[in-house]
Amino acid sequence: MAVDELDTRILRLLIEQPRTSVREYARILGVARGTLQARLDRLERTGVITGTGPVLSPAALGHPVLAFVHIEVTQGRLDEVGDALAAVPEIVEAFSITGGGDLVTRVVARDNAHLEDVIQRLIQLPGVVRTRTEVALRERVAHRLLPLVEAVGRAASKP
């Protein structure tokens, strides 16, 4: 979907001021409330905006350890293992990948011993052949999308 300059400004506001009302967004942007609402509806319908809930901190929830666990899966069991991973609350994301392994997961834990317990649980899942774990030491770039939104907006505004 093409994101134009107004869409970019709307997305920037949503990212920077997520708790502001639609009426206030319209005022800040200098557009009619109906125009803004139509844009928001289109951005949601086309999948650009995928959620509006709060961003939570696993560390503040008592899970400061972050690890990436690569999982090798028996051929033909990828869907089964993926479904089983969804039942593990410490797995906050999982992706099918190319390269070394079949899945990569983002796992949070209370401490290293808890991380080991989670990994042991993963190893025992039917279809899991082996795992490889990388523990994150420090976040260098926090999850962000605004620079991408701005780059897409700039590209869309070029003739």
> Quick one: pLDDT at residue 158?
78
CA-wise closest residue to 81 among 92, 66, 94, 99: 94
Q: What is the pLDDT of residue 1?
A: 64
DSSP 96-120: E-SSSSSEEEEEEESSHHHHHHHHH
Full pLDDT tens readout for the chain, 159 residues: 678 999 999 999 999 999 999 999 999 999 999 999 999 999 999 999 998 888 899 999 999 999 999 999 999 999 999 999 999 999 999 999 998 889 999 999 999 999 999 999 999 999 999 999 999 999 999 999 999 988 988 887 777
- pLDDT at position 65: 98
The helix (H) or strand (E) run that includes residue 77 is: none
Q: Assess contact for 7 and 39: CB atoms under 8 A.
A: yes
Q: Count other C-beta atoms under 10 Å from residue 67's C-beta.
A: 18
Tokens, residue 33: 């409330």
